[in-house]
Amino acid sequence: MEALLEALDARGKAISARVIREMYAHPFWTERFGDRGRGEADKDGDFHIAHLREALVTEDEEALPRYARWLRSVLTARGMCTHHLADNLLRLGDALGQELPDGVRARAYLYHASAALHYDAGPARHLQDHADPIVAALDAREWPGDPALTRETHRELVSYLADAVAQERPALFADHVVWLRAFWERRGVPDTALDAQLAALSAHLSHEHAPADDAVQAIAFARDRLAPLHGDQVER
């Protein structure tokens, strides 16, 4: 343990910063959150290391989950989704596990924190538990525009939807959808593609994942937000 703590003190923040840098290689992050967001992400990375260290020292396996759930409430209110944080914790765990002596201990704590971001039983938990088949159903369809671009956002769409349902804030999903439309438009994806995806997601949930009322309503709310941007192009 001492070797792990010493290495964490010496290299933890640098490893965390590298993980953030790798995530920020995708244009989503800079376009969505800008330089200020990058600065906040780096600070959060430092906090991950500080909380991990404290959890290791006190052998409190629930300390990081408590922190992760609290941080999730802060980040989802500011335009991120649970999947972003969960993925960040897994990546950090992998990096520390590979690079630090006895790093598997750190990885176990971070993996546990990532898993703790599953919501309690309910519609949001259902979306999380069934994210893979939902994403696969969306991936299997043909979309206008760059299929690689549209497919990579499916998992995030499901995560934003779960967050909106869990927190009873449909705007969490709608705000992301409105932003995503502009992001795709800058990359040549037709502006009706996203509404088509949302319609497909809504239909899939209605048919395959009842009860899904909250999720379907959140999708409808988001599509209504998109409608003025499309004029009369969106069909219901």
Partner 1 sequence: MEVAEHTRERASPLDALRDRYLAAQLAGDRREALRLVLEEGLRAGATVAELQLAVIQEAQREIGRLWQENRISIAQEHMATAISHVVLAHLYDRAPRADTNGKKVLVACVEGELHDLPARLAADALDLAGFEVRYLGASVPVHALLSMIDQVKPDLVALSVTMAFNAAALREAVARVRAHTGGRLPIAVGGNACRGVPAEPGVVVCAGDAGELVALVERAVRGAAA
Of residues 59 and 142, the one with the C-beta less far from partner 1: 59
C-alpha 233/C-alpha 122 separation (Å) is: 34
C-alpha 134/C-alpha 198 separation (Å) is: 12
Interacting span for partner 1 (CB under 8 A) from 15-23, 43-51, 85-93, 217-225: 43-51
Q: Residue 54, interface with partner 1 (CB under 8 A)?
A: yes
Q: Residue 67, interface with partner 1 (CB under 8 A)?
A: yes
The three-point CA angle 163-81-151 to 5° equals: 105
Tell me the backbone φ, ψ of residue 153, rounded to 5 degrees.
Answer: -95, -5
Interacting span for partner 1 (CB under 8 A) from 52-60, 100-108, 177-185, 191-199: 52-60
Q: Residue 60, interface with partner 1 (CB under 8 A)?
A: yes
Among 63, 81, 219, 226, binds partner 1 (CB under 8 A): 63
Which parts of the chain fold into alpha helices (H)? 2-23, 27-58, 63-76, 82-99, 103-115, 123-129, 131-139, 147-152, 154-166, 170-185, 193-208, 213-230
**What minimum distance in Å lies between the beta carbon of 133 and partner 1?**
31
Q: Residue 210, interface with partner 1 (CB under 8 A)?
A: no
Q: Which residue shows structure tokens 């994942």?
A: 209
Among 22, 47, 132, 207, binds partner 1 (CB under 8 A): 47
Interacting span for partner 1 (CB under 8 A) from 46-54, 88-96, 203-211, 220-228: 46-54
Q: Residue 58, interface with partner 1 (CB under 8 A)?
A: yes
**End-to-end CA distance of the chain, in Å?**
59
**What minimum distance in Å lies between the beta carbon of 187 and partner 1?**
28
Of residues 174 and 189, the one with the C-beta less far from partner 1: 174
C-alpha 148/C-alpha 83 separation (Å) is: 19
3-state SS of 205-221?
A: HHHHCCCCHHHHHHHHH
Interacting span for partner 1 (CB under 8 A) from 54-62, 100-108, 137-145, 177-185: 54-62
Instruction: Provide the binding-site residues for partner 1, judged by CB under 8 A.
Output: 47, 50-51, 53-54, 57-58, 60, 63, 66-67, 70, 73-74, 77-78
